[in-house]
Structure 1
Amino acid sequence: MAPPALKGAPLPATPIKTVLLVVALQAEAAPLVKDLNLKEDTSGLFPAGVPWVKFSGEYKSMKVHLVTPGVDAIHGVDAVCTVPASLLTFSSVQLFKPDLIINCGTAGGFQKKGAEIGDVYLISETAFHDRRNMLPGFDNYGIGALAATPVPKLVSHLNLKVGVLTTGDSLDHVDKDDEVMENNNATVKDMEGAAIAYVADLLTTPLILLKGVTDIVDSPAATEEEFLLNLQSAAKAIQTTVTSALDFLSLKNLSDLQ
């Protein structure tokens, strides 16, 4: 059964004036901040005590806000995974009222689906692979499959690969995860995308997900080693793709993407 589409499709003829970029890692955000000439905003819009970081600026015809969960105060590392990403996205949509969300970042890729390190995918569907609940009806809720906002004209313009994203809170994966990811028809795997899609659906906000491949999920190589080796090059590929996407979005309506 096909997953339900995000609320709001087809897209309205609304001018794209404000874009929210949601990025999980500081290392993923840095090339975009530099390329788009964004400036850190320390005005205190976010709730007191959260580590979230916001950069803003004007890019062509659009106001661009880039948000990242920042550094966890207890452990001193990037606040990754689904809970920080969903909280940050929810709060940012409430504050900045974007016409469009772009979640961009790194992901693992499945070589059996043709993914290679350095590829950038536009995501067609999202699902979870580690929310297992066998109670009646809760199994499908746990998977939480959603069809992403369809943007065929953007895909064609950028000549992007398209694939299904599967999301979980662990960098590694156990046998049951592999089974669910196979059932999800996954091409790429990350740690926040499906949670952001859930928020976008709740708040009826169009969402584009762009994922750059840092490691190959279905290979014998250690995920953490491949990820660290390829993080910088993947972040650069994402930056190039996102900038090209923003160039395409400038002076367009949402409906122009379909």
Structure 2
Amino acid sequence: MASHGNKSEEEAAISEAPNTPISTIVIIIAMQTEALPLVNRFQLTEDLDSVFPQGVPWVRYHGVYKDLNINLIWPGKDSTLGVDSVGTISASLVTYASIQALKPDLIINAGTAGGFKAKGAVVGDVFLAADCAFHDRRIPIPVFDMYGVGLRQAHSTPNLVKELNLKVGKLSTGDSLDMSPHDESSITANDATVKDMEGAAVAYVADLLKVPAIFVKAVTDIVDGEKPTAEEFLQNLAAVTAALDNTVTQVIDFINGKCLSEL
């Protein structure tokens, strides 16, 4: 994964990628509702002898599908409030711990997201993110401002995009479900089609530890539409999760037997 939009670094990384088929995949998913259909689809089992530190709520489901070792990581429920551990902090921690414990060849961050009708998104669309950036880390000091945005490119997947006819757009990440005027300005500057609460954090850790990552995001709500975001998100979550499940399955089927450079 290249950082800060440097194509030459990305192309160099692909050319240096081992010419062996992808074997181990880690799928990072923030919400149980999003995770369970894939757990059932791939007949994964929960790891009761956890590879993670004692006491954390993180859950690993794992199994073998075709020629792939699949690990689906869900950050679990907050131990105090009992809700899904969404957001960038949990996403960063589980990504780091998963890479350390499982040594994946590829990370897939899958989940739901808000979309922008101004960029052509509609509810039910599934996007592959071309790159990820933050919209709520505003540091108005030269160079620190670029660090705050934290732009990272996803692993290049031209063949996957063509074969599955996937939509491609830029992803912007922040720790709030709603969108403040400051966030809106930053999201516009990021040229984002979709916004979520985890992607850029996963991208940061994956880039730090030099593990290729791709981002599959299904649109539950239209951020620049007329409906309240929370209401529209909850209304569409189940149906859009089914679309996400189908697309991730197609992505996994495509990846099976291929090298990173063939994606």
Quote the residue 1:4 is aligned against.
6
Q: List runs of 5+ in structure 2 lacking aligned partners.
A: none
* CA displacement, residues 176-206 of structure 1 (integer Å, 9 cap, x when unaligned): 1101100100000000000000011001001
Secondary structure (helix, strand or coil) at the match of 2:14 reads coil
Please give the alpha-carbon distance, in whole angstroms, between the structure 1 residues aligned to 2:6 and 2:135.
17
- Could you tell me which amino acid in structure 1 is paired with residue 126 of structure 2? V
Q: How do residues 91-240 of structure 1 correspond to structure 2 at under 5 angstroms?
A: 91-240=97-246
* CA displacement, residues 143-164 of structure 1 (integer Å, 9 cap, x when unaligned): 0111111100000111000000
- CA-based RMSD of the aligned residues comes to 1.2
- Could you tell me which amino acid in structure 2 is paired with residue 84 of structure 1? S
Distance apart, 1:221 and its partner CA: 0.9
Please give the alpha-carbon distance, in whole angstroms, between the structure 2 residues aligned to 1:45 and 1:249.
25
Distance apart, 1:14 and its partner CA: 3.1
Moved over 6 A (4+): none
* CA displacement, residues 12-36 of structure 1 (integer Å, 9 cap, x when unaligned): 2232010100000000001100111
Distance apart, 1:251 and its partner CA: 1.1
Quote the residue 1:67 is aligned against.
73
- Could you tell me which amino acid in structure 1 is paired with residue 5 of structure 2? P
* CA displacement, residues 208-246 of structure 1 (integer Å, 9 cap, x when unaligned): 100000000111210001100111111111110111111
Please give the alpha-carbon distance, in whole angstroms, between the structure 1 residues aligned to 2:243 and 2:103.
27
Please give the alpha-carbon distance, in whole angstroms, between the structure 1 residues aligned to 2:261 and 2:175.
34
TM-score, normalised to structure 1's length?
0.97
Quote the residue 1:58 is aligned against.
64
Partners of 1:9 and 1:149 within 8 A in 2: no
Please give the alpha-carbon distance, in whole angstroms, between the structure 2 residues aligned to 1:3 and 1:252.
25
Partners of 2:14 and 2:260 within 8 A in 1: no
Partners of 1:4 and 1:145 within 8 A in 2: no
- Could you tell me which amino acid in structure 2 is paired with residue 241 of structure 1? T
Secondary structure (helix, strand or coil) at the match of 1:98 reads coil
Partners of 2:29 and 2:74 within 8 A in 1: yes
Quote the residue 2:93 is aligned against.
87
Secondary structure (helix, strand or coil) at the match of 1:118 reads coil
Please give the alpha-carbon distance, in whole angstroms, between the structure 1 residues aligned to 2:209 and 2:220.
30
Please give the alpha-carbon distance, in whole angstroms, between the structure 2 residues aligned to 1:97 and 1:43.
18
* CA displacement, residues 33-89 of structure 1 (integer Å, 9 cap, x when unaligned): 011110111112110110000100000000000001000001110000000001000
User: Which of the residues 31, 47, 58 maps onto 1:25?
Assistant: 31
* CA displacement, residues 76-109 of structure 1 (integer Å, 9 cap, x when unaligned): 1000000000100000011010100000000000
Partners of 2:50 and 2:60 within 8 A in 1: no
Please give the alpha-carbon distance, in whole angstroms, between the structure 2 residues aligned to 1:177 and 1:25.
23
Please give the alpha-carbon distance, in whole angstroms, between the structure 2 residues aligned to 1:94 and 1:225.
38
- Could you tell me which amino acid in structure 2 is paired with residue 18 of structure 1? T
Secondary structure (helix, strand or coil) at the match of 2:98 reads helix
User: Which of the residues 43, 52, 58 maps onto 2:49?
Assistant: 43
Q: List runs of 5+ in structure 1 lacking aligned partners.
A: none
Partners of 1:14 and 1:255 within 8 A in 2: no
- Could you tell me which amino acid in structure 1 is paired with residue 124 of structure 2? G
Please give the alpha-carbon distance, in whole angstroms, between the structure 2 residues aligned to 1:147 and 1:250.
23
